Structure 1
Amino acid sequence: MPDRIIKPSRRTVLKGLVSGTGLALTGAGLADALAQGVAPAVVTADRLRPQLPGGVMSGDVTATSGIVWSRADRPSRMIVEYSTSERFTTSQRRIGPAALESSGFTARVDLTGLPPGAEVFYRVRFADLVDGKAYSEPVTGRLRTASIDANKPICFVFSGDEAGQGWGINERFGGYRIYEAMRREAPDFFIHQGDQIYADSVIESEVKLPDGTMWTNIVTEGKSHVAQTLDDYRAAFAYNQLDKNKRRFAAEVPFLVQWDDHEVRNNWYPGQVIGEAEKRYQTRSINLLEARAKQAMFEYNPYRINQLDPEQVYRGFQFGPLLDVFMLDERSYRGANSPNRQTRLDADSAFLGSQQTAWLKASLKASRATWKVIASDMPISLVVPDLNPDVPKGTFEAWANADNGAPSGRELELADILRFIKQEDIRNVVWITADVHYAQATHYDPSRAKFTEFKPFWEFVGGPINAGTFGPNDLDMTFGPELRYVSVPKDNPQNRSPAALQQFYGRAKIDPQSRALTVSLHDLNGKSLYEVKLDVEA
């Protein structure tokens, strides 16, 4: 069942919505009305026709394709009309799948045969499956396919961490304001680097701030407890779609999505059994929770499902001669969180796992793009302890193990990848990440490192989108990191609300003439806080 809102938001209306009065048409009549772009003559009351509570999204774009996604509020069939003309003077139509209870009423269509480097406009309707007469209003969106033209600039934004620590949608504050700031950048795409939801975080109606004022959240039944059932996880994704800024952004900018821990439960790893010290969970098996969470994540995102491995999260995207993006999955194949000091690389010390590591190496070696961006859902050298109540102290969550020495534990896998990049002379590799809830720019150089078999490179941290601000974290010196920018002071209070204005995103731009990559870090209003221009390695 769709989640019932206890404190509802304003009615979902995206700017640019094509006016419609509902349809009492079927088959050819609907096709004619859509093709002509006219409002049908027969009116159906709002309550009798499907609604699109999550708006529309696109994602997983290639040079010739893109996924269009939406969600209905009842059993209905998705219909997508698309065109390279904003006026839909010429268009094509796709009859999509049925949105049913089995998919949380979500549906998607993979638009193929699109022109490279083009703006594609689309509008989505749902046809009621029960009476066969009522149709939703059309909701419009647009996407830009990847360009194959080396003379076209590329711009993308990146961030993560959404609705964490109980900081939800506060309409008095303006909602998830960072989405509006990113929308104004007019990026080609957005990399969401994980923690799209906080399945283990409850959203309450009010939270008292340090100055005595109240942070007021929109609240729903589905976010009143930790997620354990499939419908709980669906409700967490649906909650974020109540934010008008996110809906507007999603209708204009394609998403490339990866996951981290909070899509399931804080700091989870495969095979984990939640300990008795954690009182909120009745379902103790992480494997069961993970299966439900992954299904909800795929349902609520414009993923292109891998037909050979339908549960695979990691994947790559090509954006012409200038850019390849590699999206990692640092959850599905890791060993258990531990002190992270293993002396050999095996299943216990794995982070990406052997299959994903082999894919990353082969993909990097095969890439002919000028820039290779590795989207890692966790940072390289920042120390991230596992502070769950049911794990021992001294347990680590990310790559680093805080010993500042030669690689051990998960660092062995990273050292192997960095060594491969150097041995194969793979140039212009940049890492981006989120997870730690503040922004940072870090330069790595073997001259400062305990492990020296790698090329110098940069790592940029974005986030949070709308969550508590933390940090700065301690730094592990194994790979020679040097901080070039940190967005929060050393004595920064932990878990600051979005009202503190410490929410961050990154922006990357590639100039087609110089082929230089300029990366900047921004606050939730779009103000640039740090910028660096990276020239192409000769």
Structure 2
Amino acid sequence: MPSTELPDISVGPDKTLRIGMTRRRFLTWTGVAAGLAVVPGLLGDATAAPGPPRAGDRLFTLGVASGDPVADGVVLWTRLARSPLERGGGMGMAPIGVDWEIATDEAMRRVARRGRVVATAESGHSVHVDVRGLDAAREYFFRFRAAGDISEVGRTRTAPAGRSSVNALTFAFASCQSWADGHYGAYADMASHAPDVVFHLGDYIYEKPIPGNGGRRATSAMPASALRECMTLDDYRDRYALYKLDPHLRLIHRTSPFITVFDDHEVDNNWAASIPEDGMPVPAFLLRRAQGLRAWWENTPVRAAQHPRGADIRAYRRFGFGNLVEFNVLDTRTFRSDQANGDNDTAQNAVTADPRRTIVGAAQERWLLDGLARSGHRWNVMAHQTTIADLARVDNGVREVSMDGWSGYEASRARILDGAQERGVRNLVSIVGDIHRNVVSELRSTYTRESPTVGVELAGTSISSGGDGQDSDTSDRALKTASPHIRFGNAQRGYVLNRLRRDRWEAEFRVADSIATPSARLHRRALVTIPDSSPAVDVV
């Protein structure tokens, strides 16, 4: 079950590097977040007010989804949109009653639970139903009805109970799905495997402007706001609607439950706590962050506990699947110190080693280490956004790493990985996205001197971001040359399909040669096996 512990937002790193304000002034502005919920504009555009839905209107154009499975329940999601590319989805301001039901059969004859909720304009006409009282480790089917329209039927699955004995779990993880960069054939392939759960590790949308021709999609059927960078709640809502019209994304959402967390592009590229990418004043950015995170919540199947309070959000949470595996879902954006060295790829130095710097914040760090210490699961997973391992390159004789990943937060990384080793954590695995390439690495607390391998990191490539890619590009070769702890690398598009057992973890890296068409096929590029009780890998 997710912890109910609230993050310690009183501990804030110094955010002065990009905008040149004093620490005292920064700490003053962090208090702005608490009042953002009453700022005009946060609730979206109230000017568009078409009439209420009529018989024959299709309201479930954005599909259905489920998520955050626990032993006795799951979240059911949909968002009503009569005209999904119009502002407000063509729904107007009137509340709409939505009936839901969940059954043990796909024909929806053996109904286990049913109920009624109200979708409001305030929540973008999204619906989040936290269904409880279900059986553990069981497949269910669900659907919605509203104003005479009936949704597609979705499939979901609850988690195994508490410490019950579990011998196997199939799960996938994915990230980075820039709509304009190509098609989502990876999700059709993923759906054919019907994993027990899917982890989406960030960059579900991209906030940057989309070309007028739709980029690789070659279409002008887009919301008007797609041609500019997302800044308002309605802009972000529009962008989610555009993405969710993709048939393969809708397919995987109705096939398997998702556990979702945001990275940067759900708000602004490489944002760090209250610091934007391009020097926007802090109060304005806090409003933008609140709107981006609110849209993320509205459009993902997560619980009410993850609903933002102004610009503040509790996205980190924990999911156990019997005694086999526990996933610690992290938020490495909201509480991090500003990126060091101008957020450029540079050598590590005194700034990156500063023990006052953090990538997860003090409260989340304690939560993570305390949870790992009492886990008792066969496998222990950190599911998050950016790589822990140094992915180094040598440029003109200088070893350089990204400042946006954990390499720019060396002391924070060491506290967590050394802390996990001191607590005797078994089978530690990190799963991440962000970097638009597949990389398998050894987990160590430092990479500039000899330190023990304490786990394995599986970085998955993007669904579409970056275009087709290659089996091995210039960056892949440079990383492998300068980073001897890398065990596998590939720069094509796809996802990672995992089959977890008590004696081994099998990670299948599935990639496409091209994502130029919706019908692109995927194939196995590598099968990486991690044996129980040994932070080693075998690559086939």
Q: Output the TM-score relative to the length of structure 2.
A: 0.75
1:407-465 deviations in Å (ceiling 9; x for gaps): xxx1111111111111111110111111011111112468x943555543211111211
Q: For residues 2 and 146 of structure 1, do their structure 2 counterparts lie closer, same or farther at Cα, with a shift above 3 Å needed? A: farther
**Aligned positions of 1:141-160 closer than 5 A:** 141-148=154-161, 149-160=164-175
Question: Where does residue 344 of structure 1 map in the other structure?
Answer: 354
Question: Where does residue 526 of structure 1 map in the other structure?
Answer: 522
Q: Which has the higher helix share?
A: 2
SS at match of 1:154: strand
Whole-angstrom CA distance in 2 between matches of 1:236 and 1:201: 10
Equivalent AA in structure 1 for residue 460 of structure 2:
G
Q: For residues 207 and 68 of structure 1, do their structure 2 counterparts lie closer, same or farther at Cα, with a shift above 3 Å needed? A: closer
Range 371-380 or range 216-225, more displaced: 216-225
SS at match of 2:135: coil
Identity %: 26
Q: Does 1:69 align with 2:77?
A: yes
Whole-angstrom CA distance in 2 between matches of 1:394 and 1:372: 26
Q: Is the 8 A contact 2:178 2:205 kept in 1?
A: yes
Root-mean-square deviation (CA), in Å?
A: 3.1
Residue of 51, 58, 83 corresponding to 2:103: 83
Whole-angstrom CA distance in 1 between matches of 2:243 and 2:224: 13
Residue of 507, 510, 528 corresponding to 2:497: 507
Q: Is the 8 A contact 1:194 1:434 kept in 2?
A: yes
Q: For residues 71 and 81 of structure 1, do their structure 2 counterparts lie closer, same or farther at Cα, with a shift above 3 Å needed? A: same
Question: Where does residue 460 of structure 2 map in the other structure?
Answer: 462
Q: Is the 8 A contact 2:175 2:200 kept in 1?
A: yes
Q: For residues 116 and 532 of structure 1, do their structure 2 counterparts lie closer, same or farther at Cα, with a shift above 3 Å needed? A: same
Whole-angstrom CA distance in 1 between matches of 2:401 and 2:383: 27
Residue of 166, 181, 205 corresponding to 1:167: 181
Deviation at 1:366, TM superposition (A): 1.2
Whole-angstrom CA distance in 1 between matches of 2:242 and 2:432: 24
1:358-402 deviations in Å (ceiling 9; x for gaps): 0000111111210111112001235599xxxxxxx998222224x
Question: Where does residue 190 of structure 1 map in the other structure?
Answer: 198
Q: Is the 8 A contact 1:274 1:285 kept in 2?
A: no
Whole-angstrom CA distance in 2 between matches of 1:69 and 1:368: 32
Equivalent AA in structure 2 for residue 518 of structure 1:
E
SS at match of 1:60: strand
Equivalent AA in structure 2 for residue 221 of structure 1:
A
Whole-angstrom CA distance in 2 between matches of 1:255 and 1:125: 22
Q: Does 1:396 align with 2:428?
A: no
Whole-angstrom CA distance in 2 between matches of 1:88 and 1:98: 22
SS at match of 2:297: helix
Deviation at 1:475, TM superposition (A): 4.8
Q: For residues 468 and 328 of structure 1, do their structure 2 counterparts lie closer, same or farther at Cα, with a shift above 3 Å needed? A: same
Whole-angstrom CA distance in 1 between matches of 2:332 and 2:481: 21
SS at match of 2:274: coil
Q: Is the 8 A contact 1:383 1:398 kept in 2?
A: no
Equivalent AA in structure 2 for residue 397 of structure 1:
D
Question: Where does residue 177 of structure 1 map in the other structure?
Answer: 185
**Aligned positions of 1:170-319 closer than 5 A:** 175-207=183-215, 215-216=218-219, 218-272=221-275, 275=278, 285-306=284-305, 311-319=313-321
Whole-angstrom CA distance in 1 between matches of 2:384 and 2:225: 29
Range 85-94 or range 220-229, more displaced: 85-94
Q: For residues 309 and 363 of structure 1, do their structure 2 counterparts lie closer, same or farther at Cα, with a shift above 3 Å needed? A: farther
Question: Where does residue 123 of structure 2 map in the other structure?
Answer: 103
Q: For residues 64 and 451 of structure 1, do their structure 2 counterparts lie closer, same or farther at Cα, with a shift above 3 Å needed? A: farther
Equivalent AA in structure 2 for residue 358 of structure 1:
R
Question: Where does residue 120 of structure 1 map in the other structure?
Answer: 140
Q: For residues 482 and 273 of structure 1, do their structure 2 counterparts lie closer, same or farther at Cα, with a shift above 3 Å needed? A: closer
Q: Does 1:57 align with 2:65?
A: yes
Residue of 136, 148, 152 corresponding to 1:139: 152
Q: For residues 367 and 70 of structure 1, do their structure 2 counterparts lie closer, same or farther at Cα, with a shift above 3 Å needed? A: same
Q: Does 1:517 align with 2:519?
A: no
Q: For residues 93 and 445 of structure 1, do their structure 2 counterparts lie closer, same or farther at Cα, with a shift above 3 Å needed? A: closer
1:311-332 deviations in Å (ceiling 9; x for gaps): 2011110111111111110100
Question: Where does residue 443 of structure 1 map in the other structure?
Answer: 442
Whole-angstrom CA distance in 2 between matches of 1:112 and 1:411: 41
SS at match of 1:234: helix
Q: Is the 8 A contact 1:268 1:286 kept in 2?
A: no
Deviation at 1:256, TM superposition (A): 0.5
Whole-angstrom CA distance in 2 between matches of 1:54 and 1:251: 11
SS at match of 1:88: coil
Deviation at 1:286, TM superposition (A): 2.3
Whole-angstrom CA distance in 1 between matches of 2:438 and 2:432: 9
1:460-491 deviations in Å (ceiling 9; x for gaps): 1112112214773665999x752221113xxx
SS at match of 2:304: coil
Gap regions ≥5 residues in structure 2: 1-43, 47-52, 82-90, 342-347, 394-399, 513-520, 535-540
Q: For residues 248 and 366 of structure 1, do their structure 2 counterparts lie closer, same or farther at Cα, with a shift above 3 Å needed? A: same
Equivalent AA in structure 1 for residue 532 of structure 2:
V
Q: Is the 8 A contact 1:419 1:454 kept in 2?
A: no
Equivalent AA in structure 1 for residue 295 of structure 2:
A
Residue of 324, 327, 331 corresponding to 2:326: 324
